[in-house]
Amino acid sequence: MSLENVIEFKGSKNGIFVHIKEEANYDLIKKKIIEKLDESGTFFKGANMVEIQNSTLTDNEKIELEKLISERYEINIVKEELHDDLYESYFSGILEGTTKFIYRTIRSGQRFYYEGNIVIFGDVNPGAEVVADGNIVVMGSLRGVAHAGRDGNVRACVAAFKLVPTQLRIAGFIARSADGNTSHSTQPEIAKINKGVLCVEPYLHKK
């Protein structure tokens, strides 16, 4: 995998969020964190770090990384619940807001990212990737990779007329299609986070 952009530091009024690519292994993550913080000099010294965003790391691995960041770079580790006011640090236009409309099919090898919502009038083919800080809506078949709430907003969602992605992500939550799974819904579906779990359910318009 590419070694670029494995680690991203995002600031908010509550502190720093460390966003890590799900595919990265622990040794690579540790190496890239050290490289990034060494390059920053004393920029982050005395700052508060709220959370490491990666669902594949174990609790012990996160604790070890937090200890490294705290002791080596003098960054404060702040443990707190994510209250509603914390969502202000994310893209807030989930229900309405800046939206990019794409009037074509996204083909294999293509990647689209937008700092808002994305609506696609077409399909997302296998091998294609769509990433948004807000919601992702596909007016066709979603067969590639979709990542909504990229900046950490767990209120984001992914919806499609045919939802069969190779990989689906919302904020730091990730799900993959089961191998050999040929049973798919015949109606539009929506994926969202419900009580800490990434769920996919039929989209039923409320009358």
Give the pLDDT band of residue 87 (cuts 50, 70, 90): very low
Distance CA 164, CA 109 (A): 18
Instruction: Find where tokens 């960054």 sit.
Output: 75
**Whole-angstrom distance, CA of residue 122 vs CA of residue 61:** 41
Q: Which residues, other chains included, contact 115 with Cβ-Cβ below 8 Å and sequence gap of 6+?
A: 91, 98, 132, 133
Q: Are 89 and 72 in contact (CB under 8 A)?
A: no
Are residues 50 and 12 in contact, defined by beta-carbon separation less than 8 angstroms? yes
pLDDT confidence of residue 195: 79
86 pLDDT more than 50: no
* This prediction's pTM: 0.57
Q: Is the pLDDT of residue 84 over 70?
A: no
Query: Tens digit of pLDDT for each residue in 112-149?
Result: 999 899 999 999 999 999 999 999 999 999 999 999 99
The DSSP code for 124 is B
According to DSSP, the residues that pair with 113 across neighbouring strands are 131
Q: What percent of the chain has pLDDT over 70?
A: 83
pLDDT above 90: percentage of residues in the chain: 35
Q: Which of 9-13, 79-83, 161-165 has the highest mean pLDDT?
A: 161-165
What are the tokens at 44? 């982050």
